[in-house]
Chain A
Amino acid sequence: MSRERKLRLGGYGLLLLAAIAIPFLFGPYRVGQFTLVLAFAVAVLGLNLLVGYGGQISLGHGAFFALGAYTSAILIEKADFPHLATVPAAGAVCFAAGLLLGLPAVRIRGLYLALLTLGVAMAFPQLIKRFDSLTEGTQGLNVSRPETPSWVPLADDQFLYLLTLLLTVPMFVLATNMVRGRIGRALVAMRESELAAKAMGVDLARLKSGAFAISALYAGVGGALYVFSIGFVAPESFTLTISFAFLAAIVVGGLATIGGAVFGALFIEFVPVYASDVSEALAGVIYGAVLIAFMYGARGGVMGLMHRLGRRIAATPAGRKSVATPAAGAHHEAVGRS
């Protein structure tokens, strides 16, 4: 096992341990915030598969997130589904919707695709209002939260967090396997050059609509987890803001990275809250400034920074101090999103 690989595995292990420890270290409100971070992380991961790896653009992932959230909410409240059963259902519905949106995406590229997906995100809240017999329209739907079984010696918030974590981890493992294998290589090839990818035998049409579908599935599962945590859905919950927040999250976390989704989700959950704690009037300015600072200081996002740090440690012969050459760091930056 190479030193870097060991470091990486060790890093993931630590992250997972930290994730498991969270509900025992913080109060219920904080634990609730971290539960939401997990839900966001799944959706952000899905968007990163599409945008970071596949080089497609979607400004409309808030719509899939909303679709997943409403699917789960309606099944729980109107059809008495158990909470857990709504997660695969939300994923499946969004998979189908993603496939549909992926069809035109096969032909449309760049800015046009961006506008198409933006249109979807703008229209979705109106659709929610139109189907008000199902969605309760603008009144919104209050959704009961998963109940803690009586044999579990945990508080409600702790149980909900661990349940969400239990559903989140496989999504991350799945994504890791996907990008390491054939699909991941094909996605990156498509991102770098569609022509070259095609020449190498990648079926672009299938890959693109597939990438949209998988990515939407992730957003849908994230949406269902969001419902468990927030317990309320309304058209106002899914404005364009959330689509843009997901985009900001993949950039802050690190494009084309798996772990970046967690950091991106932490960013979109915590920075707005702390920004308005610092100054209510300047909340938006602070959020924007942090985003700009990332663009200037760390274009690879949090994961880019960590990779650089990891390489430095890995490159250091044990027990000896060395100064990492700036060139090595710059090189990594140039390779960028690997």
Chain B
Amino acid sequence: MRGLRGRAWLALLAMVVLFAAGCGGRDDNENEGSPGVTDDEIKLGGSYPFSGPASAYKNIAAGAKAYFSFVNDSGGVDGRKIRFITLDDAYEPARAVQNARRLVEEEKVFALFNTLGTPNNLAIWDYLNEQKVPQLFVATGASDWGEDVDAHPYTIGWQPDYVTEAQTYADYLKREKPRAKVAALYQNDAFGEDLLGGFEEAIEGSGIEVVAKESYEVTDPTITSQIRQLASSGADTFLNITTPKFSALAIATIAKSDWRPLHILNNVGASKTLVLTPVGLDNAKGIVSTNYFKDPEDPQWKDDPALLEYRAAMEKYAPRANPNDTFHIFGWASAQTMVEALKGMEEPTREALMESVRSLSLEQPILLPGVEVGTGEGDGYPIEAMQMIEFNGDYWELKGDVVEAKR
């Protein structure tokens, strides 16, 4: 019996070796030019949390898709139609890795565009840069994307990074409240640390002081005790570094207490539809934040051509979507940058695309006047300006001037 089994194993091993020798590695038939581009099509890929706890962000994909459809129906990019293939990662890095492999190896996309989330993009950036596949305009404000362009030449961010945002708040306080005592609530992850760290750095040497800080985990059910701690610190300014669900919780908790600080809410949580409406608009009056694109509910843009175009297209291509949801505009506007980058290619290759991406100078009318999309050699931060906004009980009102990031 033992001998028989031994022989069986040997036979199996022999078969494997023969098989491996016969098949060998896979042939790598590299076609001419880059994959994902034909004469009439450009394939792009993206990974989003369509399911799971972060699925609110899927509207970004819907906004981007609406813009691509709009461009396709008006002739595409140099006659090429854009096909945007999106996969679900449920906000899990492991699934983002597999999605990236699937998009590159199976779907053979030309480039990845706008994949969502800091951990998910960090999980795939080594792989994409090894494969020399562009990872463009990622939907995260982490400062990683522009910090070391040499190490990851195929990766670029899009929105103002969290450090830029933190500087904007610091500037605002220096002007309006130079002796502010700040209590900060922050999400205990890369996003929270980026923004809080940026803020602390920006207020160094000023009269502003962080007197208390409390963190929370994304899995926490409430943040009541953190808010109570912060309120008892005697701070007169509240820096609210949270994602939408917790932004809403923080606003509601403060409304019920007798703490009335100047409330600075980070851009991520400043969605009227997702955050302010559910907790009651009255409770949100006076909150300040930042923005860099036009708010569709601000009456001064009622007849703005960029927003009219956006609304009409959303009605046509995403009729069930709420155009006032800022995630839709975010997706729409970053898709605009993507299309402009494609138009700027001298030839349809990934290298030419990266060259175009690294030499952008765009005025996108959906962005606030004075906010531009600009890159250069080694510049991984396309948008580097923001403007303060204040909620007036009805919509976010623009305040002051556009603030450029200092690097």
Q: Which residues of A contact B (CB under 8 A)?
A: 13, 16-17, 20-21, 24, 27-30, 32-33, 36, 122, 126, 129, 137-140, 142, 153-155, 158, 226, 230-232, 234-237, 239-241, 272-273, 276, 280-281, 283-284
Query: Is B217 among interface residues, defined by CB-CB distance under 8 A?
Result: yes
Chain B residue contacts of A280, Cβ below 8 A: 50-51, 58, 86, 88
Q: Which residue of A is nearest B16, CB measured?
A: A20
Check A153–B193 contact: CB distance below 8 A: no
Q: Which residues of chain A have C-beta atoms less than 8 A from B374's C-beta?
A: none
Residues of B within 8 A of A20 (CB): 16, 19
A29-B50 in contact (CB<8A): no
A62 to B189, CA, bound (A): 20
- In the complex, which residues of chain B have a beta carbon less than 8 angstroms from the beta carbon of A226? 94
**Pick the contact of A155 from B26, B51, B97 — CB < 8 Å?**
B26
A284 to B55, CA, bound (A): 12
Query: Please, which residues of chain A bring their CB within 8 A of the CB of B86?
Result: 280
Kindly state the separation between the CA atoms of A129 and B119 in the bound complex, as whole angstroms. Answer: 13
Q: For residue A139, which residues in chain B have a CB less than 8 angstroms away from its CB?
A: 122, 144, 190
Q: Is B102 an interface position by the 8 A CB rule?
A: yes
Contact A158 B190 (CB under 8 A): no
Q: Are A28 and B26 in contact, CB atoms less than 8 angstroms apart?
A: yes
A235 contacts across to B, CB distance below 8 A = 189
Which residues in A have their C-beta under 8 angstroms from that of B16? 20
Question: Does B6 sit within 8 A of A, measured CB to CB?
Answer: no
Other-chain residue from B52, B90, B97, B219 in contact with A122 (beta carbon distance below 8 A): B219
Q: Which residue of A lies closest to B117 (CB)?
A: A236
Interface majority SS (helix, strand, loop, mixed), chain B: helix
B123 part of interface (Cβ distance < 8 Å): yes
B93 close to A140 (CB less than 8 A): yes
Of the candidates A138, A154, A276, A284, the one whose C-beta lies within 8 Å of that of B119 is A138
Interface-central residue, A36, A122, A235, A280, by most chain B CB under 10 Å? A280
* 6 CB-based A-B contacts, threshold 8 Å: A27-B106, A36-B94, A129-B189, A140-B122, A273-B95, A276-B50
Residues of chain A lying within 8 A (CB to CB) of residue B127: 231
A234–B119 touching, CB < 8 Å: yes
Chain A residue, CB-CB nearest to B21: A153
User: Bound complex: CA of A239 vs CA of B54, how far in Å?
Assistant: 13
Closest CB in chain A relative to B91 CB, distance in Å: 7
Shortest CB distance B211–A (Å) = 24
Contact of B102 among A16, A29, A126, A232 (CB under 8 A): A29
Give min CB distance, B166 to chain A, whole Å.
Answer: 17
Number of interface residues of B (CB under 8 A): 45
For the A-B complex with A138-B193, A237-B119 known, give 10 more contacts whose Cβ atoms are closer than 8 Å: A28-B26, A29-B106, A137-B190, A139-B144, A140-B93, A153-B25, A234-B119, A241-B92, A280-B86, A284-B51
State whether A158 and B26 are in contact (beta carbons under 8 Å apart), knowing that A140-B93, A237-B92 are contacts in the complex. Answer: yes
**Is A153 touching B106 in the complex (CB atoms < 8 A)?**
no
Query: Are B101 and A28 interface neighbours, CB within 8 A?
Result: yes
Q: Which of B15, B24, B123, B193 counts the most chain A CB atoms within 10 A?
A: B123
Question: Pick the contact of A142 from B21, B105, B122 — CB < 8 Å?
Answer: B122
> With contacts A129-B188, A142-B126, A280-B58 known, is A234 near B93, CB below 8 A?
yes
Q: Are B92 and A236 in contact (CB under 8 A)?
A: yes
User: Which of B181-231 touch A at CB < 8 Å?
Assistant: 188-190, 193, 217, 219
- Kindly provide the distance from the CB of B193 to the nearest chain A CB, expressed in whole angstroms: 7
B181 to chain A, nearest CB (A): 27
Are B190 and A138 in contact, CB atoms less than 8 angstroms apart?
Answer: yes
Question: At the interface, yes or no: B392 with Cβ under 8 Å from chain A?
Answer: no
Q: Name which residue of chain B comes closest to A232, CB basis.
A: B123
- Whether B87 is near chain A, meaning CB under 8 Å from some CB there, is yes
Q: Which of B97-125 contact A (CB under 8 A)?
A: 97-98, 101-102, 105-106, 119, 122-125
Cα distance, A315 to B58, chains bound together (Å): 54
CB-based nearest A residue for B193: A138
Q: With A and B bound together, what is the CA distance between A89 and B21 in angstroms?
A: 33
Question: In the complex, what residue of chain B is closest to A153 when comparing beta carbons?
Answer: B24
Expressed in whole angstroms, the Cα–Cα distance for A191 and B18 within the complex equals 46
* Cβ contact within 8 Å between B126 and A231: yes
B118 smallest CB distance to A (angstroms): 8
Q: Are B24 and A283 in contact (CB under 8 A)?
A: no
Residues of B within 8 A of A236 (CB): 91-93, 119
The distance from the CB of B353 to the nearest CB of chain A, in whole angstroms, is 22
Q: Given the known inter-chain contacts A28-B26, A158-B26, please indicate yes or no for A231 contacting B20, CB distance below 8 A.
A: no
B94 in contact with A237 (CB, 8 Å): yes
Query: Is the CB of B12 closer than 8 A to any CB of chain A?
Result: yes
Given A24-B23, A237-B93, A280-B50, are A33 and B189 neighbors across the interface (CB < 8 Å)? no
